[in-house]
Amino acid sequence: MGSFGDPDIVEVDTDVLIIGGGMAACGCAYEITRWAPEGTRIRLVDKAAMERSGAVAMGLSAINTYLGDQDPTNYVRMVSNDLMGIVRDDLVYDVGRHVDNSVHLFEEWGLPIWKQPGDENKSLAEGGRPVRSGKWQIMVNGESYKCIVAEAAKKALGMDNIQERVFIVKLVLDAEIDNRIAGAVGFSNREDKIYVYSAKVMLLVAGGAVNIFRPRSVAEGQGRTWYPVWNAGSTYAMAALVGAELTMMENRFVPTRFKDGYGPVGAWFLLFKAKATNCRGEVYMDTNIEMLKDYPPYGLAAVPATCLRNHLMMKETRDGRGPIYMRTDTALQALAESYEDEFGVRVAKKKIKHLEAEAWEDFLDMCVGQAGVWAGENIEPEKVPSELMPTEPYFLGSHAGCCGIWVSGPADICPEEWNWGYNRMTTVNGLFTAGDGVGASGHKFSSGSHAEGRIAAKNMIRFLRDNADYTPNLGLDVQALAEEIYAPVRTFMEHKDYTTAIEVNPNYITPNMLQHRLMKIMDEYVAGVGTAYTTNETLMKIAVDKIAELKIDSKKMMARDLHELMRAWENYHRILAGEAHLRHMLFRKETRYPGFYYNMDYNFVDEENWRCFVNSRIDPKTGEWTTFKREHKDLVTK
C-alpha cells in the first residue's frame, strides 16, 4: 500500500453489487442468496459498519408498517391520503402484501415484539397479537434492531463478500451498450485504496438525504438531526448522473419532533394518546380544524395528512402562540387515572411506574439523544410537557415522504406504462433500487424497506439470468479516475503551506464550509426553517444561480484525510440532490404539501392540473436536465 495520497487501485469483478448496508440492503442480501444460481458472485459495500449504519442505527421502538389481518388496499388508501394523493398505488400495494413476512423474520432472528396479555409466548407468525401503537404500527424493544437485521444479512452473504467503510462515489454505464449499468467506483475511508467494481446487476440503496438544509442544531449540537447523517443524497445523485429518471423530488419530509433531541412523536400521539397544544393549552388540531377544509379530500380524511397536521401547528407559531407542547404530563396522568379506576390505587401505582419506564424506553431504544435532553434538562415527562418543533427538511422515500427514483412496478397489478420487465428496476437497465430510493411510494418505514430490498433481489436475479452472456465494459482510464476521486487531496497538498491557518486559504475551501454554504442557500431561498418553509419563484430562481456558482467553487474543495475526502464527495451528492429538489419545486406550480413547504406564488393545491407525478432526467451524455409531468392513476378507488 502506498502512502496517503497515493492510493492503490483495486479492481473487483462481481455479478451483483449492493450499494448500502441499511434496511433495504439487508433485505436484499438475505433474499438474494435464496434465488442466485450456484457460483453467483455477490458484493455488498457500505460506507459505514452495517451493524450500526443507516436510519435504524440507534434502534427503533416501533415497526411502523405491519398489516396483520388488514387489507393492503386500505394501506394504499392511507398512504395515498397521507402523501396528498400522488403515489404509485402498485408499488405501495406490493409493499403492503409482502411486508409482514419481513417482520416475522425479524422476530425469528431475535427482535422482541410487544404482545398483548396472554400472547407473550406466541410469535406473530403463530398468531400472537402484537401491541399496536396505531392502526399500522406495532411496538418493539428495538435498541438492537439493526444489529439483528444486519447479522442475518451478513450470515447470508458471508463477510468475505461484504466491504465496510467504502464510500461509493459514482456509478458507471457500459462503454458500448446504451443505458446499461456496468459498475461503480469508490474509495476506502480507512485505507488509501480506490475500488473499481464491474457488475452485471446492481442495487443502489444508500438511503435518503440529510444536512442539505441548514439544521436547527448549531455548534456542538450540529451533528444532531432526526434522520441519519450517513444519508447524504448518494442514492438520488448517483442514479441521476447515469440518467435514471427521478420522481417527486419536490417532495420533502419535515417531521414534527421533540425539540433539540429530535425524538419521534408517533408513540406519544398513538400509544400514550397525548395531545399537542399551543402556549395557552389549546389543542391546535381542534381550534384550527377549519383550515383542513381548504384541502379536500386529504384534510377531511379520518387522519389528515402529515403535512396538514404540520400546517395547523405552524399557524400557532406564526401567530405568536408558541411554543408547541407535547402534553406528556397530562397524557400519562390520564392513563394513570384510568388505571386507578380500573385496578385500584395499589395496583395502579405499579402500572404507572411501568408506564413511565415505557416513556423513557421509547427514546432509549430509538433516539437516545432525546433521553439525554430530558436527563440534562431535568425534564420528568410525567410532570411537565416537552416542546415540539418542526425540523429542517429531509429527502426520503420510505417514511412520510416520497421523493426518489422512478421504477418499474409489479407486473401482475401495474399498468403497462409503469412496467418495463423487472420490478423495482430504474429506467437504467440493470440498476435497481428500494427503500428510500424508490419514489412515489412512502410509508414503508424500516420493515417495508427490508421487504422492498427482498422484492428487488428476486428481480435482480431474474435480470441476471435473462442477461447471462453480458460482460461489463467500463471503458475507464483508472489513473484519471484516481486523480478525479483524490482531487481534494491533491488540492490540499499543493496549497496547504500558503497560509498559516490551515482552514483559511484562497486556493481551497473545506468541505465543512462548502456544506454550510449549500445549507444557507437551501435554507434562505428554498423554504428551510429560516423562512418558516416559505419561498416563491423569484427566490428559487436566485437559488438556481447560487447553486451554479457553488458547483464551480466545489471543485476547490480540499481534504486533509480520508474522512474529509468522504465529506467532500458527500457534498457533491448533496448539491445534486438539493438541485433536483429545487428544479422540481420550480416546476410544480402549486403548494401540494402545505406544512412541508409553501410556494407563495401558488399557495393552493391544484387538483385539476397538478395531480400528476413530476419526473426529471439528466442526459448522461450532455448533462442536460429535463423536468416533465407523468400522468397519475388511481389503481385503488379512494
Which residues form the interface with ligand SFD (CB under 6 A)? Answer: 19-25, 45-48, 53-56, 60, 62-64, 167-168, 205-207, 226-228, 230-232, 234, 264, 266, 366-367, 398-399, 435-436, 445-447, 449
Give the DSSP H or E segment for 103: helix 89-108
Rounded CA-CA distance 88/247 in Å is 11
Rounded CA-CA distance 560/510 in Å is 9
Minimum distance from residue 267 beta carbon to ligand AMP (Å): 7
Crossing angle between the packed helical segments 445-466 and 89-108, to the nearest 10 degrees: 100
Q: Give the residue with the Cβ less far from ligand SFD, 207 or 385.
A: 207
CA angle 181/182/183 to nearest 5° reads 110
Binding of ligand AMP at residue 270 (CB under 6 A)? yes
Write each residue from 197 to 236 as x if it is in contact with ligand AMP (CB under 6 A), else as -, in one continuous string: ----------------------------------------
Minimum distance from residue 255 beta carbon to ligand AMP (Å): 6
Give the DSSP H or E segment for 517: helix 511-525
Q: Give the residue with the Cβ less far from ligand AMP, 400 or 521.
A: 400
CB 210 within 8 A of CB 232: yes
Minimum distance from residue 545 beta carbon to ligand SFD (Å): 28
Minimum distance from residue 227 beta carbon to ligand AMP (Å): 10
Q: What is the signed CA dihedral for 272, 304, 66, 141, rounded to 10 degrees?
A: -30
CB under 6 A: which stretch of 260-268, 332-340, 420-428, 544-552 binds ligand AMP?
260-268
CA 129 to chain centroid, in Å, comes to 29
Q: Give the residue with the Cβ less far from ligand AMP, 43 or 252.
A: 252
Q: Give the residue with the Cβ less far from ligand AMP, 285 or 544.
A: 285
Which distant-in-sequence residues (6+ apart) come within 8 Å of 103 by Cβ? 63, 66, 113, 124, 138, 447
Look at residue 114 and give the partner it binds from ligand AMP, ligand SFD, none, a contact being a CB closer than 5 to 8 Å depending on partner kind: none
Look at residue 435 and give the partner it binds from ligand SFD, ligand AMP, none, a contact being a CB closer than 5 to 8 Å depending on partner kind: ligand SFD
CB under 6 A: which stretch of 14-22, 261-269, 449-457, 579-587 binds ligand AMP?
261-269
**Among 471, 482, 433, residue whose Cα is nearest residue 195:** 482
409 DSSP 8-state letter: -
Crossing angle between the packed helical segments 511-525 and 537-554, to the nearest 10 degrees: 170
Binding of ligand AMP at residue 266 (CB under 6 A)? yes
Residues 291-310 that bind ligand AMP (CB under 6 A): 303, 306, 309
Amino acid at residue number 8 = D
Q: Do the strands 246-247 and 404-405 form a parallel or antiparallel pair, or are they unpaired?
A: antiparallel
Q: Give the residue with the Cβ less far from ligand SFD, 365 or 579.
A: 365
Q: Give the residue with the Cβ less far from ligand AMP, 370 or 408.
A: 370
Minimum distance from residue 436 beta carbon to ligand SFD (Å): 4
Minimum distance from residue 200 beta carbon to ligand SFD (Å): 19
Binding of ligand AMP at residue 263 (CB under 6 A)? no
Look at residue 400 and give the partner it binds from ligand AMP, ligand SFD, none, a contact being a CB closer than 5 to 8 Å depending on partner kind: ligand AMP
Rounded CA-CA distance 55/627 in Å is 30
Minimum distance from residue 446 beta carbon to ligand SFD (Å): 3
Look at residue 48 and give the partner it binds from ligand SFD, ligand AMP, none, a contact being a CB closer than 5 to 8 Å depending on partner kind: ligand SFD
CB under 6 A: which stretch of 88-96, 264-272, 581-589, 598-606 binds ligand AMP?
264-272
Minimum distance from residue 78 beta carbon to ligand AMP (Å): 9
Which distant-in-sequence residues (6+ apart) come within 8 Å of 318 by Cβ? 532
Q: Give the residue with the Cβ less far from ligand SFD, 231 or 429.
A: 231
Binding of ligand AMP at residue 400 (CB under 6 A)? yes
Q: Give the residue with the Cβ less far from ligand AMP, 42 or 270.
A: 270
Total residues at interface with ligand AMP (CB under 6 A):
13
CA angle 513/517/521 to nearest 5° reads 170
Q: Give the residue with the Cβ less far from ligand AMP, 134 or 620.
A: 134
* Whether residue 297 has a cis bond before it, omega within 30° of 0: yes
626 DSSP 8-state letter: E
CB 542 within 8 A of CB 525: yes
Look at residue 270 and give the partner it binds from ligand AMP, ligand SFD, none, a contact being a CB closer than 5 to 8 Å depending on partner kind: ligand AMP
Q: Give the residue with the Cβ less far from ligand SFD, 25 or 348.
A: 25
Burial letters for 218-237: b for 16+ Cβ neighbours within 10 Å, e otherwise? eeeeeebbbbbebbbbbbbb
Cell of 570: 458527500
**CB-closest chain residue to ligand AMP:** 266
Residue whose C-alpha cell is 405501495: 92
CB 580 within 8 A of CB 233: no
Look at residue 88 and give the partner it binds from ligand SFD, ligand AMP, none, a contact being a CB closer than 5 to 8 Å depending on partner kind: none
Amino acid at residue number 405 = I
Binding of ligand AMP at residue 64 (CB under 6 A)? yes
Write each residue from 124 to 143 as x if it is in contact with ligand AMP (CB under 6 A), else as -, in one continuous string: ----------x--x------
Look at residue 441 and give the partner it binds from ligand SFD, ligand AMP, none, a contact being a CB closer than 5 to 8 Å depending on partner kind: none
Residue whose C-alpha cell is 400472547: 119
Taken as a whole, the chain contains a residue count of 638
At 187, is the secondary structure helix, strand, or coil? strand
Minimum distance from residue 257 beta carbon to ligand AMP (Å): 8
CB under 6 A: which stretch of 104-112, 228-236, 266-274, 581-589 binds ligand AMP?
266-274
Binding of ligand AMP at residue 328 (CB under 6 A)? no
Binding of ligand AMP at residue 67 (CB under 6 A)? no
Minimum distance from residue 400 beta carbon to ligand AMP (Å): 5
Minimum distance from residue 221 beta carbon to ligand AMP (Å): 21
CA angle 247/485/429 to nearest 5° reads 35
CA distances from 520 to 251, 516, 579, 580, 581 (A): 19, 6, 14, 17, 15
At 61, is the secondary structure helix, strand, or coil? strand
Rounded CA-CA distance 525/113 in Å is 44
Minimum distance from residue 332 beta carbon to ligand SFD (Å): 19
Binding of ligand AMP at residue 112 (CB under 6 A)? no
Using CB atoms within 10 Å of the CB of residue 621, give its burial: 0 to 12 exposed, 13 to 18 middle, 19+ buried: exposed
CB 436 within 8 A of CB 397: yes
Binding of ligand AMP at residue 255 (CB under 6 A)? yes
* Radius of gyration for the alpha carbons in the chain, expressed in angstroms and rounded: 24
Minimum distance from residue 49 beta carbon to ligand SFD (Å): 8
Give the phi and the psi of residue 554 in degrees, each rounded to 5: -60, -25
**Out of 131, 147, 229, 265, which residue is the one contacting ligand AMP (CB under 6 A)?**
265
Which residue ranges make up the site for ligand AMP (CB under 6 A)?
64, 134, 137, 255, 264-266, 269-270, 303, 306, 309, 400
